[in-house]
Structure 1
């Protein structure tokens, strides 16, 4: 129950930003539109599912696998270069880890 305070603080911050930017009328209009509320509910469900899956992946030791999903869709040329660098680094890291594990297994057999 302790993490629930984050939800309360997020709601308060959202309310303060909505009031500070003068968007209260737009928010009320959006909440009256069933399609907008449905889209927000679907989005919330997808974000929740994403976090549940991420937390599950972390809890079963699949942090690297779960993290790769966040880097899988470049949008600009700069992001594509960054994406290529990340994947190259991950490939080098993975190959090195596999070689070290293989070498360690070889030493254990002797």
Structure 2
């Protein structure tokens, strides 16, 4: 299991165990984390699972592929470095301790 911390815009933190092989979005959805809507169900066809990855994790994650880059253009106030779509982040043991911050809203 990988422990992932989701921090709501208001500062409320949710620390949950997520099974390797799932996505960070599925971990949020399955644990009722507010603020990740995941309207497309993980198909990278919307931006409603957008988060800001904690700075210390940016270089430890796989690079964004072109489709994720394109969808982030539609996210609420995307950050060129910190923004990621959680549907594109596959959970591995190496992600144990990952911290993601949710935006004020999803669009």
- Tell me the TM-score range normalised by the shorter chain: under 0.3
TM-score (structure 2 length as normaliser): 0.21
Q: Greater strand share, 1 or 2?
A: 2
Q: Which structure is higher in helix share?
A: 1
TM-score (norm 1): 0.21
Q: Which has the higher contact order (CA 8 A, sep 6+)?
A: 2
